[in-house]
């Protein structure tokens, strides 16, 4: 039986995996604290990502949008 570390030993692959996680966190994943903060008086709560909170985007991205905008597809 062969044991592995379950991760790539190439630095470039590590950088790409980190970049993908960073992009998902900021563009795809709504954050509850931001969602609550952006809902004003009488406004409906809209799932809010960090990219939306800073004005870079107007909606949470899907994984398809993330891959398309990353130039992977």
Check: CB of residue 62 under 8 Å from CB of residue 28: yes
CB contact at 8 A, 52 and 60 = yes
How confident is the model at residue 35, as a pLDDT?
Answer: 82
* Contact assessment for residue 24 and residue 66, using Cβ atoms and an 8 Å cutoff: yes
Please state the domain extents for the chain.
48-73
| Torsions phi, psi for 42 (to 5 deg) | 75, 5
pLDDT-above-90 percentage for the chain: 47
Question: Which residues have C-beta within 8 Å of that of residue 25, sequence separation ≥ 6?
Answer: 50
| Confidence band, pLDDT 50/70/90 cuts, at residue 73 | low
| Percent of the chain whose predicted confidence (pLDDT) is above 70 | 82
């Amino acid at each position: 039986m062969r044991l592995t570390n379950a991760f790539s030993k190439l630095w470039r692959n590590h950088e790409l995996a980190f970049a993908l996680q960073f992009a998902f966190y900021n563009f795809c994943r709504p954050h509850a604290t931001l969602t609550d903060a952006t809902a004003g008086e009488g406004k409906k709560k809209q799932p809010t990502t960090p990219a939306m909170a800073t004005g870079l985007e107007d909606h949470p991205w899907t994984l398809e949008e993330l891959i398309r905008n990353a130039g992977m597809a």
